[in-house]
Structure formats: C-alpha cells, structure tokens
Amino acid sequence: MRSRLAVGEMLHILSYLEECSNELDDAIELNAPSPVFRMALHVIKGHFEAKAVTPTSLIAASNVPYATANRRLKEMIDAGLIDQRPRTKSGKSFSMHPSEKLLAQWTRISDRVRRLTETYFDTQHGRGDVRDYYFGGSYMAAQSIPPIQVLPEPLKVAGGIRVLVHGDPTFMVMENLKRQFEQVVGTQIHQRAFSIDRLREEGLRNAERNASRYDIIALDLPWVGEFADKGILMPLDEIMDVERLDPADFHTAGWKAAHWGGRPYGVPAQTTPELLFYRKDLFAGAGLEPPTTTDQLLDAARRMHEPQRGRYGIAWNAARGTALGHTFLMALADFGQPVFDLGEVAGGFDTDRLHERGYRVTIDTEKGKQAAEFLMELLSYSPPDILSMSWYERVRPYAAGKIAMAYGYTLLAPYFELDPTSPASGQTGYLPHPHGPGARNVAPVGGYVMGIPANLAPERIPAAVEALRVFTSAEAQKLYVQNGSRTNPRYSVAADAEVRRASPIFEAVDAMSWRDELQFWPRPPVPEITGIIQICGEEFHEMLRGIVTPREALRRAQQRAEALIENNRDEKT
C-alpha cells in the first residue's frame, strides 16, 4: 500500500519543487516569484533538517523585495501557517517553525505531487497507485501520523535536558536524532547510555544523590516495582495530566507494566517482545511449517542443525547471570507458569496486586522441571559457544546465516533487516514463543519505560514532563522507526502505513497484541525480580554445564529465591 511519504521522500519532493520554481522564474520573463510558496518551502525544509530558521532567512528565501516579503510573512503568521518561538528571554527575537496546519497541508501536497509525477512520467507506478486507492491506500494515507512538531515555547531548563538510557539500537537512534529533538524542545539534550546492568546501578546510585543528575531515566520493565517501591521514581499522576500521554494508544501489556500499585511510574519508550526469529527460506526448503509448540521447535532445530556445514539449529540467551535468568523465566512461561503463584485471569495471570507483596516463588515445580529439561534439549542443537551467548551474541550469527532460528527481542532485528548482505534480510519470520503442553503462545514483553527521578529539583520538573511527553509521543516513535528502530509501544504507530512498510515486524507484533499474546507476567516487576533473575542465571548455568541435575538446580534456585524474598520483607518491616 501507499500512504503519506516519509520525511526523506518529502524532502526530495521539496527540493524538486524548489528547483522547478527556480526554472519557471528564469524561463518566463513575466513570471513573478511566489513569496508565500518559497517561504513555506524554506521553513519546512529547515524543520526537517533541524536547522534554525529566522524571519531574516525566510525573507531572503522569498525572492521578492523586503517590504513585500515582510508583509507576506505576517500574513502567513496570522493565517496560522508559521509559528514563532522566542529565542531570547526578552521575547524580541524569534525562530520560525511550520505550524501543524502547514505540515498537514505539506504532507498532503507531497503525496499528490508524487502521484501526479508517477501518473505522467511513470505509467507503471501510476497504475499501482490506482489499485492502492481501491484497496484502501487513500484511507491508510488519511491515518498517517504527521511529522513531529516543535513546541510552541522552548523548554526553560538550565543546562538542557539530561537523559539516562540503555545503550541499545533504539536509544542510539534517539541519540542520532538529537539535533532534531533539540530543535523540537528548544534546548540542548544530553544523553548518557549504559549496558543493562550498569544502567540499573547508575539509576540506584543516582537516587542516593541530593539532587538527580538526570531529568529522565530509562529502566527495564521488570525494575518498575523496585524503583517505585524504593521511592526512586515520581508517580506520574502527581506531576502531570496523564491523559496527555494518550494511555489508550499504548500496547496494553507495555502500559500496565509501567504501573505499580495502580499508579503509572513511567511511560513506555520501547515495547519489544522476545520472539522466535526463523529463516523462512530454510524452512520452506526443508518442507517445515513454522513451529508453534516446543516439540515442533525441537524437531525443527534438530533438522536444521548441521554443524559439519557450519549451521546450527537455534541460538538463545544462555550466558551465566542476567541473560540466562531471563531465558529460564520465559521458558517457564512457555510451559504456562509464572515465577510466582499469581492467580489466573483471562489471557494470563493477575499482576494488579503485586504491590501487596503476597506472592510466593514457584520455581521448583513440575512446570519448572519441564522448562529446565527443555533448555537441556536445546543445548543439543545450539552452537558450541552457546553458554557464553547473551543479547547480541545470539542474533549476530543468525544475521550472518549461521543459525536457522534465534530467540531475540525485536529491537535487535536491525542487525539483519537493515543489512542487505545478511542471508536473513527479507527472509525472517516472526513468531511468539512456541508453547509447551497445555499452555498457550506468549510473546514476553521487554523494553524500557522512561520516568522522572523522585529527587529531581522541583524547578526542573515541568520541563522534564514536557520532554518525556515529546520523546514518547506517536510522532517521535514513528521517527525512530523511520531511522532504524524496530520497537514500538503504540497501536497508532503500528497502524501507520509507512511504519508497516518499514518492516513486517510491526504488523506481526500488532497482531500478537490483539490476540493477547503480548504479556509481561513472565517477568513480574516485583522489587526482588532482578535478584531472582540473577539466581536463576547462576543455578541453571551450572545445570547446562552438567555440574548439577535439573532437579538440583530447581531446588537450589527455589531456596535462594525464597531466602531473598524473606530477607527483603524483613528489611521492609
């Protein structure tokens, strides 16, 4: 389907129209320049390229005398086509920005110019557009998320906005777009990135300071309970109108995971479920259907496993500690059980009362035994260095064509989707976790929320709130996708035609969400979850190395997890 164009395409059309205007002005003796059109081109181009636009530069771009251009500029401001934003405290100097009205008009005309060009100069594409119209292309275009717009007033905060994030591909996209976001918020942005374990340590260390070094911090979804319970984050309903975030637009699992005790402590910045990536071409060549059960997965891994040819069946997180700990909790979910005794509800398990702290550990169970034995079987069809593989190590060999299947978060898909030399590029299918006997398919939700530290200086809170809203908006999320991100927390972004064209992953995840397969209960955000993940990552690594049996690993993990929770409760009382 076709829809409104991406920013890069609109810039291309903008330059085309600008050149056409130059040619017309020079070719016809009595032709007069159109100052409104030229100034509109200039201000929109400055917005897309994150360049400062002033009244002087607009007048210079008009190609008409100063008095005429000045008069037309005032008319554009009065008509609501151009927004002025004060550049100095005196309010006498302004930067100029396209209004939402002008951006909407420009998006429409860009799409129409392309259609007209294809109709008159490329009949093959022109016919395609006609088909798109009848099959819903024009409707989808109407639903397109517009480009991100600058704030009416620049954020007033000393030293700019300071952000603590995880060093993953999505947050690195944000860093690459820093200049554009600085123009949007009207102040500098300072972003600091850490690995997952160091990010948590820095978040906890920052909470001990008299005043937070960061205006906004990112945290892994399972940490929400700990950070809220320890008073590290501000409840968002105390400092902002939460409805401004459009909560209904977030994937349900991602939005619920940002809550503790019924209150929101963060805004989903990434909703990135762990899926099963599989090579569609290899499966088709072997006459295999995509696996939906753990037995089918093991059979496919066995048939795809050809180490003598340098190809292995499957890769997964098996490195000691945090990586393998996550894997065990998700494997437990594949067999239909959470790591705590949560009550069953429609579509999963009840997480609404976790803050009451009445949960018990459920590791050493029959389902736990099935999960542990499943991981032992996976070993037989995994690469030889599997016990040191973690987040990136499991996806890189998949991207290189050495692995037929891999468990991986959607945020890692750029490693092969954006690399045309990868054998997996354009050949990857996306599935929720295959399920064990009596269980159902689950796509365990991962990702990050962004929240505001409780020890942030009061005078910085309004700017932090507004920046948080901008960074997590639908317009921002679409921009991340257009620049390589493969995560998305919002329904509206997943429905955008440009986003769907960027990768099949968005339509697949959206379908999983509507089927209620996106769930965050596999890693419940309780205060002790980080410690329990570490315990499981240590004990089951011993099991995979053959040092202890599955039963012994389950017993030891259960005992250590129980002791951890008991100690934590004693400290609270």
Answer yes or no: is 499 within a domain.
no
The reply to whether 423 and 481 lie within a common domain is: no
Phi, psi of 35 (to 5 degrees): -65, -35
Within a domain: 153: no
Is the domain of 301 the same as that of 412? yes
Q: Is residue 2 part of a domain?
A: no
> Could you tell me if 12 and 106 lie in one domain?
yes
Q: Going by DSSP bridges, is the β-strand pair 161-166/189-194 parallel, antiparallel, or unpaired?
A: parallel
Number of independent structural domains in the chain: 3
Please indicate, yes or no, whether residues 278 and 396 belong to a single structural domain of this protein: yes
Sign of CA dihedral 156, 159, 163, 169: positive
**CB-CB contact of 303 with 444 (8 Å):** no
Helix pair 366-379, 529-544: axis angle to 10 deg: 50
The pLDDT assigned to 28 comes to: 58
Residues 430 and 478 in one domain: no
Say yes or no: 388 and 292 in one domain: yes
Q: Are 333 and 444 in contact (CB under 8 A)?
A: yes
| 547 and 401 together in one domain | yes
Q: What is the pLDDT of residue 12?
A: 66
150, part of any domain = no
**Which pLDDT score, from 0 to 100, does residue 328 have?**
98
254 and 377, same domain (yes or no): no
Name the nearest CA neighbour of 329 among 365, 363, 374: 363
The pLDDT score that the predictor gives to residue 42 is 86
Same domain, residue pair 420 and 294:
yes
Residue 463's SS3 state is helix
Question: What residue numbers bound the domain in which 256 lies?
Answer: 161-270+446-491
Cα 230 from Cα 570, distance rounded (Å)? 15
Q: Is residue 534 part of a domain?
A: yes
The verdict on residue 129 lying in a domain is yes
Q: Do 465 and 400 fall into the same domain? A: no
Distance between CA 520 and CA 444 in Å, rounded?
Answer: 6
Beta carbons within 10 angstroms of residue 414's beta carbon: 19
In 274-402, alpha helices (H): 280-286, 294-304, 322-334, 366-379, 396-399
Among all chains, which residue has been given the structure tokens 């210079």?
Answer: 60
Q: Is residue 178 part of a domain?
A: yes
User: How far lies 111's CA from each of 15, 106, 124, in Å?
Assistant: 14, 9, 17
Angle subtended at Cα 397 by Cα 368 and Cα 535, rounded to the nearest 5 degrees = 30
pLDDT at 243: 93
Residue 507 lies in a domain: no
Distance CA 42, CA 36 (A): 10
Instruction: Give kind and range of the element (H or E) at residue 467.
Output: helix 461-471
CATH (domain of 410): 3.40.190.10
Same domain, 21 and 112: yes
Task: Say if residue 259 is in the same domain as residue 306.
Answer: no
pLDDT tens-digit profile, the chain (573 residues):
333 455 556 666 777 777 777 666 665 554 566 888 888 888 888 877 767 788 888 888 888 888 888 888 999 989 888 888 887 666 677 888 888 888 877 777 776 776 666 665 654 444 344 333 323 333 334 457 888 989 988 999 999 999 999 998 889 999 999 999 999 999 999 999 999 889 999 999 999 999 999 999 999 999 999 999 999 999 999 999 999 999 989 988 899 999 999 999 999 999 999 999 999 999 999 999 999 999 999 999 999 999 999 999 999 999 999 999 999 999 999 999 999 999 998 778 999 889 988 999 999 999 999 999 999 999 999 999 999 999 889 999 999 999 999 999 999 999 999 999 999 999 999 999 999 999 999 999 999 999 999 999 999 999 999 999 999 999 999 999 999 999 999 999 988 988 999 999 999 998 898 888 999 999 999 999 999 999 999 999 999 999 999 999 999 999 999 999 998 876 765
Q: Which CATH number do you get for residue 16?
A: 1.10.10.10
Q: Which residues of 230-241 are buried (b: 16+ CB within 10 A; e: fewer)?
A: eebbbbbeebbe
566 CA to centre of own chain: 35
